[in-house]
Structure 1
Amino acid sequence: TGKPKGVVHVHGGYMVGTSYHLRTFYDVKDSDVFWATSDIGWVVGHSYIVYAPLVEGVTSVFREGAPDWPDPGIFWKCVEQYGVNVMFTAPTAVRMFMKFGAEYVSKYDLSTLRLIAVAGEPLNPEAMRWAKQHLLDEGKRGFVADNWWQTELGGPTIATPITKDARPGAAGLPLPGVEAEVVDETGNAVPKGKGGLLALKRPFPHMMRTIWGSHSRYEQYWNEIPNCYAAGDVASWDEDGYISVLGRSDDVLNVAGHR
């Protein structure tokens, strides 16, 4: 989508925000083993392979290589070998695991795994059911949680409460400190059950501060919708306030959960 755009975060806000959500949304305890299956080239890798686990001093799994090499059971071998408690991955990966087949899962002991968080694209019902059935022992051991955020936002912004399973297709509820609404082009909230533009009504610590060498482009995020940060996503919300992200309203491409 044109020239690369460097998002600028600040040390304090970024580290505080990502660390806070590691504890409160991903529910990582001091004794846990956390595995974000992304790579360091994406913001998930920056925030949840490098920064937050190191700041918090928790054990984090790093893995290089394709998810089907040397065989399609390699992820579950890692879960068993390292005792992974919390896994953060993408719906695309879950659908790939489904395609490989449950026989690659059943070879390994996944009893340590209690939370699977997904982000990057909507979680479809079939993938969620498969994950609960085969990765979490029919949901007896824990939950499948969804979360939505952006490179610009640094960490989870809208998410499923960790004591409940995700609602397939819905990213979840605004997290503490986040004032998110579905609005029209003038910044007014649309009725529940209707669609509109996803907007954040106020800043929070782990949001970007500018775009490298192009502050005017950064200002566009705040000028597109009056008194709001325009996320660039079309969304809807239901009567309970759960927000579903339906697609992009701009030129950003989403490839396998990576923008």
Structure 2
Amino acid sequence: MLNSLSHSNIKKFHSELRKCQFHFDMKALHCIAFQGTRYCKPNAIKKIWDQTEKYSSDKKKRESNDQKKIDEVITTFLLFDEIGLAEQAKHNPLKILHQLLEDPKIPFVGISNWNLDAAKMNRMVMHFIPSLGHHDLINTATSIVSDKIFSNRDIKKMIKVYEEITDCKMGAFSPNGNKHFFGARDFYALVKYQATLIEPSQKRSLQGYLRNFGGLDQSKSKKKLNEILAKKLNLTKNDISQELQTLTPDIRTKKFNREKMYSITK
């Protein structure tokens, strides 16, 4: 869904450039993604790095042997998603990046909600994306899904919960002092998940909120999240308690599989 939105926006941007008689060709990119977690190990990062290098090298050889594709070279890059989480892993997996980034043979992109340590930041070019404002969140959410799926009221409820979480001053959602632990992508994932719920009764489910904002172990964060959900969604503590009891791991897995199979066409 988000990929489709990005693709349509890029096409629109190119169209506007052509109207101004400004045209340039963009390189074709092939992404190999790696998901960072607190359980990452150095050998896993080295393995995916080597695989990306090999894929890139083999692809260049094939393209050099095909004269028709000389002008259609596709650049392969490694995307390290949630690299900030991997930095917190007990095995110190990101240390291997120090040597890999000294003379990289492939482009490398890391996505994080907070800065890494200076040793890594000095080996990269940082692109900082500012936090979205209230109206930006509304516009993005309505662009992701059609009006037939959500009313403005539904979207504003989700935004209120998200803003309450990101603006929380108690540190309940800032593990290890990371103030931006939850970001806009968590909000987009919430919108995407809620869009898979068809029945009105399903739309009142807390599964999407708990899945995207309930991943912290501290009792303080769970208590604060329940307070926010009760306040912003007009629920009682009993409503939330009953919902939590019905969300067993088996049910969560089934709902996750349903979401993977669901697609939205605008």
| Superposed pair shares fold, TM > 0.5 | no
Which of the pair has the greater relative contact order for Cα pairs under 8 Å at 6+ separation? 1
Instruction: Tell me the TM-score range normalised by the shorter chain.
Output: 0.3 to 0.5
Higher helix fraction (1 or 2): 2
TM-score, L = length of structure 2: 0.37
Which structure: greater strand fraction?
Answer: 1
